[in-house]
């Protein structure tokens, strides 16, 4: 009988059938070709929505969010060159990964304040680089300019040169 | 250096960055990705060797052919292990079969591996079918079977796949099927390893990997390594048999062939096989040198950093370890007339080392320079593991993978006995 | 010598085979394969604009990105970073990116890695500048092409995303990116990269880095909207992209891109 030669092929096809059956169970229903075609769009469609709304919460709110409660600081800083800085650059994001947003009296009444010299040196460390906007920022030598104290001891970040030379 | 309490990125443990590299660059593809093409290369090479007898009828390779095929099957189960150990989510590896993205060379893994496994398994079935039938019939007659014998009976009955016809005509059909499978299997085995070369050769982001020659170089050196491994294991097994025969001859009848007869067969088989190894070794060396010459000649943007990696930083790994010790010395040893078994063992070990270094120099070498072309990354293989990660992606993991096919081979040879004495002939 | 019959037979077979493959090529039309027609008709395609004249290397963008997108703060990996290039009069290029500029650049010494620093005399500097980098959300993303399981993909609006539940962690996409923007997330262990703060831009907000930048060096826009200020700059001013020779069609555009930028 010629049949016996094809026996392994039948076994092989059986395994393929099992894999195809497993696919029905294991592959999410919304997996497929997207608008970008097979090469660039092969994915589980539900994931797009997950990234938009579920996986990460919005944390940084922007200056306008702080304006109503902290109008004094907002207006003060807006009169100085520091108006370009976001409140959250120094005070951290208003929201947390868990989705708790300042101002929440029970959970998030206060935001941290970064008073370190390192924070100010981000812009004010002297790097006189030709062609870069960095060279236009007033700078200090951190080893010589009051090296032992916080910058905010003399410079109010919301009014950095107020009352000073 | 990383301070205590930092969260380490994957690869950071064994990567040292120098000069200018992007922050996210680490050596992500480490020793397990070196092991993977090494293992699949052995698989492909062993199969091609086996097919040399079945397809081209090289009679002197008959015993080697059977041996090589079984070993190829044992290797086949060990070959995916480096990937399983490397994946951040090994159990999700099945996703490659569930939602394959065929624009990726890795997705070919599912189809190619499966097809190749089917071919080898089928060819083995045809080759050993008579043995399965004989054993299961013999066990069926036996009235009081022990537990082990019951288990054996079940296994061998299943392996017959319900076919008990061992007439001359059926066996003749088996031979034809073997011949066809061996023939079809050669391109599939080449594809199995060629695609591994394609995985690297198609990565345009990597200046060292990107070349159309990569799949071909990989196939050539794969066949070299496969033949070398089969030669080595064959010699080792024959030496063991000789040793056992010498001991048993004092006590038992002439059930085992004499040591002189075994020795005679061995030397001739080894000499024949070595000839094929030399052919593929020369091909592999030529292609690699061609790639190197082209790079230097065309001197693309990446050439400056590649030159410093190839000719300065990795000079020892590439030229001394791979080209001289791993390729040139064994080539000379094989070419000197009057090849002895001892010389063959030494040469074959060097060849295997050379092929491993080739994979190392491609995988690790390709990550030795930064995408900036202005920085370097140094890889230090984790030797003493202090957690699961440093074991599986370190020396421990690599050695475990290397030992695995030998262990599997021992297990499988209980079902697919490799030598005539063990079969009911 | 081949017989006439065999020659004719082989030629006929060759032509038939050739015709079949060409027909297959039509069936597997590259344009359809990559759905280029759908992309042409879309109304939203996010693009990014970086002005390297304005960037001062303060690194506030990197800090904001890490906190917004929950990349472990002390980890070396980051979705975005800033590079510094200092070109000295002897023709040498010195470049570094200490911790991806998470803490800014608070020394004039160049970080050479392995604990080594290089002093640069300010008088020797010909030009120096900062280059922010992030995922280019390429139109031909090589990282998406090489994903074996379809865990990473391009959304219709051009952003390339990673499905954390499906990624097997093979790292092929990381090796496939010429820009080095991808990495393994230290906590989730899946592939990770900048996704233009997809959770923010989909709500009409700016990305964390765009919002954080005090100097306006970073901007995000929609290239399909002709009234978008970003689109106007890209279309009417001189802009460059990174590593164009790879054919990835990156969608992050740079003003003031120097030839020395890697």
Q: Does C163 touch chain A (CB under 8 A)?
A: yes
Mutate to test the interface with C, among B16, B20, B195, B377 (most CBs of C within 10 A): B20
With residue B123 as reference, give the H or E element that holds it.
helix B108-141
The torsion angle over the Cα atoms of residues C41, C43, C45 and C48, rounded to 10 degrees, is 140
**Rounded-to-integer distance, Cα B316 and Cα A2, Å:** 58
Question: Parallel, antiparallel, or unpaired for β C81-88 and C125-133?
Answer: antiparallel
**Rounded-to-integer distance, Cα A155 and Cα A151, Å:** 6
pLDDT in tens, B77-130: 999 999 999 999 999 999 999 999 999 999 988 788 889 989 999 999 998 888
The mean per-residue pLDDT over the stretch B298-316 comes to 96
Place of tokens 């080739």: B358
Q: Nearest residue on chain A to B163, judged by CA atoms?
A: A4
DSSP per residue, B30-94: -HHHHHHHHHHHHHHHHHHHHHHHHTT--GGGHHHHHHHHHHHHHHHHHTTHHHHHH-SSGGGGG
Structure tokens at B268: 């001739």
**Rounded-to-integer distance, Cα C32 and Cα B417, Å:** 53
Query: B213-248 and B259-298 helices cross at what angle (nearest 10)?
Result: 160
pLDDT band at C151 (very low <50, low <70, confident <90, very high): very high
Q: Which among A48, A93, A128 has the least Cβ separation from residue C68?
A: A93
Mutate to test the interface with C, among B22, B302, B367, B380 (most CBs of C within 10 A): B22
**Rounded-to-integer distance, Cα B99 and Cα B107, Å:** 9
**Rounded-to-integer distance, Cα B194 and Cα B172, Å:** 33
Q: Does B177 touch chain A (CB under 8 A)?
A: yes
In Å, what is the CA distance from C219 to each residue of C50, C60, C83, C200? 6, 15, 18, 14
The mean per-residue pLDDT over the stretch A134-138 comes to 95
CB A115 within 8 A of CB A152: yes
Note whether B29 contacts C246, CB cutoff 8 Å.
no
Count of A–B CB contacts within 8 Å?
A: 40
DSSP 3-state of B227: helix
Structure confidence at residue C22 (pLDDT): 61
Note whether C58 contacts A122, CB cutoff 8 Å.
yes
Q: Nearest residue on chain A to B165, judged by CA atoms?
A: A4
pLDDT in tens, B168-213: 988 898 889 998 998 899 889 888 888 889 999 999 999 999 999 9
Q: Is the pLDDT of residue C28 over 70?
A: no
Structure confidence at residue A157 (pLDDT): 94
Structure confidence at residue B424 (pLDDT): 39
pLDDT in tens, C226-254: 999 999 999 999 999 999 999 999 999 99
Q: Is the pLDDT of residue B2 over 50?
A: no
- Residue B385, C-beta contacts closer than 8 angstroms, at least 6 positions apart: B391, B394, B395, B396
- Chain B contacts of A24, Cβ < 8 Å? none
| pTM score | 0.90
CB A14 within 8 A of CB A21: no
- Chain C contacts of A31, Cβ < 8 Å? 150
Structure confidence at residue A5 (pLDDT): 85
- Chain C contacts of B92, Cβ < 8 Å? 149, 166-169
């Amino acid at each position: 009988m010629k049949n016996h030669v094809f026996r392994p092929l039948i076994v092989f096809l059986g395994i393929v059938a099992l894999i195809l059956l497993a696919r029905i169970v294991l592959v999410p229903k919304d997996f497929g070709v997207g608008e970008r075609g097979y090469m660039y769009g092969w994915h589980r469609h539900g994931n797009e929505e997950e990234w938009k709304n579920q996986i990460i919460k919005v944390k940084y709110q922007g200056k306008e969010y702080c304006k109503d409660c902290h109008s004094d600081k907002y207006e003060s800083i807006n009169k100085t060159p520091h108006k370009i800085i976001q409140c959250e650059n120094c005070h951290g994001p208003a929201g947390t990964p868990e989705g708790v947003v300042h101002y929440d009296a029970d959970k998030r009444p206060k935001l941290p304040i970064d008073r370190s010299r390192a924070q100010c040196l981000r812009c004010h460390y002297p790097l006189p680089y030709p062609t870069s906007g960095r060279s236009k920022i007033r700078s200090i030598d951190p080893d010589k300019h009051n090296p032992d104290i916080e910058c905010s001891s003399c410079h109010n970040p919301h009014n950095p040169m107020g009352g000073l030379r | 250096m990383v301070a205590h309490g930092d969260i380490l990125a994957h690869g950071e443990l064994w990567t040292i960055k120098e000069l200018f590299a992007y922050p996210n660059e680490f050596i992500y593809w480490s020793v397990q990705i070196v092991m993977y093409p090494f293992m699949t290369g052995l698989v492909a090479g062993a199969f091609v060797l086996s097919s040399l007898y079945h397809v081209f009828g090289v009679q002197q390779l008959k015993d080697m052919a059977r041996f090589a095929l079984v070993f190829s099957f044992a290797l086949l189960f060990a070959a995916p292990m480096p990937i399983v150990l490397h994946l951040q989510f090994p159990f999700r590896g099945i996703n490659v079969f569930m939602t394959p993205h065929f624009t990726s060379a890795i997705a070919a893994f599912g189809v190619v591996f499966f097809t190749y496994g089917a071919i080898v398994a089928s060819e083995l079935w045809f080759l050993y079918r008579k043995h399965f039938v004989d054993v299961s019939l013999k066990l069926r007659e036996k009235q009081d079977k022990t537990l082990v014998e019951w288990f054996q009976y079940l296994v061998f009955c299943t392996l017959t796949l319900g076919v008990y016809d061992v007439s001359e005509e059926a066996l003749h059909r088996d031979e034809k099927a073997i011949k066809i499978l061996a023939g079809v299997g050669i391109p599939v085995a080449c594809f199995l390893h060629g695609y591994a070369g394609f995985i690297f050769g198609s990565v345009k982001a990597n200046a060292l990997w990107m070349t159309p020659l990569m799949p071909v170089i990989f196939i050539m050196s794969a066949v070299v390594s496969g033949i070398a491994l089969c030669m080595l294991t064959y010699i080792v097994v024959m030496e063991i048999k000789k040793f056992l025969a010498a001991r048993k001859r004092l006590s038992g009848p002439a059930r085992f062939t004499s040591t002189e007869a075994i020795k005679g067969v061995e030397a001739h088989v080894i000499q024949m096989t070595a000839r094929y190894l030399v052919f593929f070794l020369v091909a592999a060396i030529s292609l690699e040198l061609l790639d190197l010459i082209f790079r230097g000649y065309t001197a693309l943007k990446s050439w400056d950093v590649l030159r410093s990696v190839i000719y300065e930083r990795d000079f020892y790994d590439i030229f001394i370890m791979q080209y001289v010790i791993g390729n040139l010395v064994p080539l000379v040893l094989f070419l000197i007339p009057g090849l002895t078994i001892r010389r063959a063992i030494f040469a074959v070990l060097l060849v295997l080392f050379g092929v491993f270094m080739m994979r190392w120099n491609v995988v690790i070498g390709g990550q030795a320079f930064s995408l900036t072309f202005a920085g370097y990354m140094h890889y230090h293989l984790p030797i003493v593991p202090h957690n699961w990660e440093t074991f599986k992606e370190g020396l421990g993991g690599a050695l475990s993978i290397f030992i695995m096919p030998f262990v599997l081979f021992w297990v499988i040879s209980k079902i697919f006995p490799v030598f005539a004495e063990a079969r009911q002939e | 010598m081949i017989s006439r019959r065999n020659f004719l037979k082989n030629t006929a077979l060759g032509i038939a085979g050739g015709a079949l493959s060409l027909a297959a090529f039509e069936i597997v039309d590259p344009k359809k394969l990559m759905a280029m027609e759908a992309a042409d008709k879309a109304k939203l395609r996010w693009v990014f604009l970086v002005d390297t004249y304005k960037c001062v290397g303060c690194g506030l963008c990197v800090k904001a990105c890490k906190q917004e997108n929950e990349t472990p703060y002390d980890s070396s990996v980051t979705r975005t970073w800033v590079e510094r290039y200092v070109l000295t009069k002897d023709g040498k290029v010195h470049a570094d990116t200490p911790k991806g500029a998470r803490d800014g650049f608070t020394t004039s010494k160049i970080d050479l890695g392995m604990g080594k620093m290089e002093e640069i005399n300010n008088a020797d500097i010909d030009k120096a500048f900062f280059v922010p980098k992030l995922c280019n959300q390429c139109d031909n993303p090589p990282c998406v092409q090489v994903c074996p399981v379809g865990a990473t993909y391009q959304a219709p609006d051009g952003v390339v995303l990673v499905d954390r539940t499906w990624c097997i962690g093979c790292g092929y996409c990381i090796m496939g990116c010429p820009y080095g923007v991808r990495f393994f997330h230290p906590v989730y262990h899946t592939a990770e990269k900048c996704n233009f703060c997809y959770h923010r831009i989909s709500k009409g907000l700016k990305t964390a880095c765009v919002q954080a930048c005090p100097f306006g060096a970073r901007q995000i826009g929609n290239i399909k909207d002709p009234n978008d200020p970003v689109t106007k700059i890209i279309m009417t001013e001189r802009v460059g992209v990174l590593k164009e020779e790879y054919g990835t069609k990156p969608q992050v555009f740079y003003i003031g891109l120097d030839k020395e930028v890697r």
